Structure 1
């Protein structure tokens, strides 16, 4: 008996999806809005649209940039919308205004906008400004994640401290919060009340000696790697963090 093999069929490869360049909320309606949306989507951005800010609450969740389309004659409303958007953490706000009212860009920026594009509006320019805003945002996030204290590097995301010789300094969560609070104000005296609130919590007593105990323990831990003089006390005021030396040792 002769066996006849059935021809094997292979499924065509699925088209790969382009990487998402960013998520943009487009708030408002205007003639230039469609062109901006097309330019963004062509470059891989995910764009969600809403007719006005009042109905855009869900739209703004997860957005990395917000484009506010301000129709001509609504400068005051656009400024109020900028103020509301600027209170939301995370997203960069770019106002696109098709009118030619002198001074509107200044009002929008003072109201909290990160950027403002006025007439004549070029959709490609708006996209370029979105890309620039997201680059600045990413750079700011990277800088806020890492804190440099001399040659010490504090990673606020992974909650670890890297020494100049690349060793990792292990700290308790309270010690890490304390070091971070001092590092954010490096060189300045930080009041005890501020440290108590940031390290122990807002409800803690500002005269609680627990913060002094934490300072003592952190100093001892730093002294073990040759950084015992990093934290200095200002009696009756607070504590100060000095820059770490380039090398550590006993």
Structure 2
């Protein structure tokens, strides 16, 4: 059976310029995010009514209701909003933040800067969404026992392994999606406590460290590398 690939967070791009909208959708989609698009405020609201999103990338200057007005109405819902604008005066940025934007990026911008800001916003306190399937209590896998609340991991011999905050966050991300391929972006999104900067190599290093720590207690491989995609947690996970 083909493994399911779990994408990272869902992003809604709201911009009246179709070329910018499509370019951003292609770029963010290429980094593992699920992307929805809207060309104006009305379409944005229809998209939000159909499905929840984790971040809104919102252009300021749009026909009809502009981005500032839309941001003011959407902000109370708590979804992070990254505002895009060709207006780069200090007062413009201040107004954008005052109406509820979490961040403000001026056009033109480098796509990698946009990606870095998206990742940073999704890991900020307050951007947490309910993680479907994430274990909230204790779980058991391959004779290991992980206490999610106490952040305590016992190996098959009953010994307690010390995990850093980042290692625990990464392991919690894996046990919340056993058997499924997780992209690097998905792991960055799920493991919000990860003590690493937001780039793909950081995830590879973090996974390598976690693997070494687990292998010291038990040699059976638990985390599989899926070349060109990401990683998969192999054991079956059960509630403790």
TM superposition score normalised by structure 2: 0.47
Bigger relative contact order (CA 8 A; separation at least 6): 2
